[in-house]
């Protein structure tokens, strides 16, 4: 079934890159607007091992954009719910839940070479960076209203995330995010995750800044 | 020339993406900001500075790929050929 299952994407990137996905271990930090879609697309694409981290439960305002979940999941932990749904989407994968919150000292398994930062606040993002081993790639995504960004950093050689994003503001209260916006940014993140896994990151030390309101993209070198 | 680029909401607010300014001897980021505000008629300094003229959170200011909070903040010198970026990143996920 494998070749048939992945037929359409094999036509895009070939068997060698498909094997790279199968051999990969990716950690998705945060299973909300970005992470629910990022993890789903990675599962559908056949990424061999997915580590998942999230300590939240599903609330009604999540349903506009968090595509893995539905009304029956309200009140349930996102971590276990996402793992169950991802297993149903692709039962051939290894899906590992990591309970707890991203704080300094959080243990990231050594086989993880790429981490998707789908977190929703800068404090957790700064903590996540401290947990990465040298050489690990971090694909960061963020969204707020009609604006978002995607950036890849390599721990040890890129400028630290905490330095680049010093002075960023965490707005009080809920942040406006639409289903379309979160899905577009998640798709861009996954596109970059593939590039990293294929050995050709497109956004390494180069922040893609997306304006959905006027369909504008620009790049900020970091 | 000094190349100044605006990103995200600042680009939308100022209705421009890039502005080139002639360099001035010994100028700092803080002084350049004042000059930018004179040239751009739309008020935007309040997005970057508080009433005392101190940087507040919300917009990353880069000089040649370095966040000025890790340089000399508003006292960071700028010179001919430098590239500045003003970027208020999205916080949600």
pLDDT, tens digit, for every residue of A77-130?
A: 999 999 999 999 999 999 999 999 999 999 999 999 999 999 999 999 999 999
Instruction: Output the pLDDT for position A192.
Output: 98
Determine what percent of chain A is predicted with pLDDT higher than 70: 99
pLDDT digits (tens, 9 = 90+) for A133-173: 999 999 999 999 999 999 999 999 999 999 999 999 888 99
Determine what percent of chain A is predicted with pLDDT higher than 90: 96
In three-state secondary structure terms, A183 is: helix
Domain count, chain B: 1
Mutate to test the interface with B, among A28, A147, A161, A172 (most CBs of B within 10 A): A147
A120 neighbourhood in chain B, CB within 8 Å: 91-93
Domain that holds residue B54: 2-87
Residue B17 within a domain:
yes
CA-CA distance, A71 to A68, in Å (whole number)?
11
pLDDT digits (tens, 9 = 90+) for A16-43: 999 999 999 999 999 999 999 999 999 9
Instruction: Output the pLDDT for position A56.
Output: 97
CA–CA distance from B71 to each of A145, B61, B80 (Å)? 30, 11, 18
Q: Are A91 and A44 in contact (CB under 8 A)?
A: no
Residue B68 within a domain:
yes
Nearest-Å Rg of the Cα atoms of chain B is 12
CA-CA distance, B40 to A54, in Å (whole number)?
44
A121 neighbourhood in chain B, CB within 8 Å: 91, 93
Residue A58 predicted with pLDDT over 90: yes
CATH number at residue B79: 3.10.20.30
Instruction: Output the pLDDT for position A169.
Output: 84
Instruction: Output the pLDDT for position B53.
Output: 87
Residue B93 within a domain:
no
With CA atoms as reference, the chain B residue closest to A172 would be: B91
Instruction: Output the pLDDT for position A1.
Output: 60
Closest CA to B69 of A16, A98, A124, A159: A159
Q: Provide mean pLDDT across the span B18-31.
A: 97
Q: Provide mean pLDDT across the span B66-87.
A: 98
Lowest-confidence pick of A46-55, A162-171, A181-190, B66-75: A162-171
Residue A33: which of B61, B88, B93 has the nearest Cβ? B93
Beta-strand pair A147-154/A137-144: antiparallel
Average pLDDT over all residues of chain B: 95
Beta carbons of A118 and B93 less than 8 Å apart: yes
Six-digit token string for A212: 């959905």
What lies within 8 Å, CB to CB, of A157 at 6+ separation is none
Residue B37 within a domain:
yes
Angle of the A35-45 helix axis to the A179-197 helix axis, nearest 10: 40
Domains of chain A by range and CATH?
Answer: 2-221 (3.40.50.720)
Q: Are A183 and A141 in contact (CB under 8 A)?
A: no
What lies within 8 Å, CB to CB, of A7 at 6+ separation is none
Residue B92 within a domain:
no
Phi, psi of B22 (to 5 degrees): -65, 140
With CA atoms as reference, the chain A residue closest to B49 would be: A167
In three-state secondary structure terms, B70 is: helix
Q: Provide mean pLDDT across the span B20-27.
A: 97
Beta carbons of B92 and A120 less than 8 Å apart: yes
Beta carbons of B90 and A163 less than 8 Å apart: no
Q: Does an H or E element contain A16, and which?
A: helix A7-23
Residue B20 within a domain:
yes
């Amino acid at each position: 079934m494998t070749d048939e299952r992945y037929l359409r994407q094999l036509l895009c990137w070939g068997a060698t890159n498909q094997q790279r996905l199968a051999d990969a271990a990716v950690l998705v930090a945060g299973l909300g607007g970005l992470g629910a879609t990022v993890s789903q697309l990675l599962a559908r694409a056949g990424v061999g091992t997915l580590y998942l981290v999230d300590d939240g439960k599903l609330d009604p305002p999540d349903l506009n954009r968090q595509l893995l979940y539905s009304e029956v999941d309200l009140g349930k932990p996102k971590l276990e719910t996402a793992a169950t749904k991802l297993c149903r989407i692709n039962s051939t994968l290894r899906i590992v839940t990591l309970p707890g919150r991203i704080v300094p000292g959080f243990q990231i398994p050594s086989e993880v070479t790429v981490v998707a930062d789908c977190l929703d606040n800068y404090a957790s993002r700064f903590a996540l960076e401290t947990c990465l081993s040298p050489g690990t790639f971090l694909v960061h995504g963020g969204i707020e209203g009609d604006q978002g960004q995607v950036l890849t950093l390599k721990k040890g050689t890129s400028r630290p995330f905490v330095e680049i994003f010093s002075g960023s503001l965490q707005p009080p209260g809920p942040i406006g995010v639409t289903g379309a916006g979160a899905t577009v940014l998640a798709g861009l993140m996954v596109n970059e995750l593939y590039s990293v896994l294929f050995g050709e990151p497109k956004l390494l030390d180069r922040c893609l800044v997306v304006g959905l309101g006027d369909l504008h993209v620009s790049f900020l070198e970091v | 020339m000094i190349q100044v680029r605006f990103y995200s909401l600042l680009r939308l607010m100022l209705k421009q993406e890039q502005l080139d300014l002639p360099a001035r001897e010994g100028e700092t980021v803080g002084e350049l900001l004042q000059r930018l505000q004179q040239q751009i008629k739309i008020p935007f300094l309040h997005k970057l500075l508080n009433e005392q003229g101190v940087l507040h959170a919300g917009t990353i200011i880069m000089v040649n790929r370095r966040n000025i909070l890790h340089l000399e903040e508003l006292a960071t010198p700028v010179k001919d050929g430098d590239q500045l970026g003003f970027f208020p990143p999205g916080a949600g996920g």
